[in-house]
Amino acid sequence: MAGNIQLEVVTPEKVVVREEAQIVASPGTLGEFGVLIGHTPFMTTLKTGTVRYTSADGAEKYVFISGGFAEALPDKVTILAESAERRRDIDIERAQAALERAQQRLAADRGREDIDFTRTHAALERAMQRIKLAKTRGNR
């Protein structure tokens, strides 16, 4: 099937992406998945990572997401993310500071039972993924 699929990446605060794409690849909790026009409908949970897509004009584009859900329909992919930002919008200094805070908290709080390690580890993962994406070539 030829044609493009509509991609929307949405957070509780804003629409991050709304454009046509040739293909969309996203980090599902059970593994990465790809969607083309005409895909069988499904829903899945997402993990922190990068949504990669090829725009209608053939450009490779990237969006950081932090968890959420994806719905794939034959003509549309909707990603409802806890947070999301295009690669070009990532503030690498802010992400580096968040990484350092999470690392310090994990190191300082070893052995303490009142610390939410799951939350701290999630902050660490978000920071590492944002830095990794921001440091990849290109600015899309």
Q: What is the pTM of this model?
A: 0.74
Residues 84, 139: Cα–Cα separation, whole Å: 16
Mean pLDDT for 15-33 is 96
The residue to which tokens 């920071």 are assigned: 127
pLDDT digits (tens, 9 = 90+) for 31-73: 999 999 999 999 999 999 999 999 999 999 999 999 899 999 9
Neighbouring C-alpha atoms within 13 Å toward the C-beta of 34: 7
Domains of the chain, start order: 5-87 (2.60.15.10), 89-134 (1.20.5.440)
Do the beta carbons of residue 53 and residue 7 sit within 8 Å? yes
Do the beta carbons of residue 8 and residue 76 sit within 8 Å? yes
Neighbouring C-alpha atoms within 13 Å toward the C-beta of 85: 15
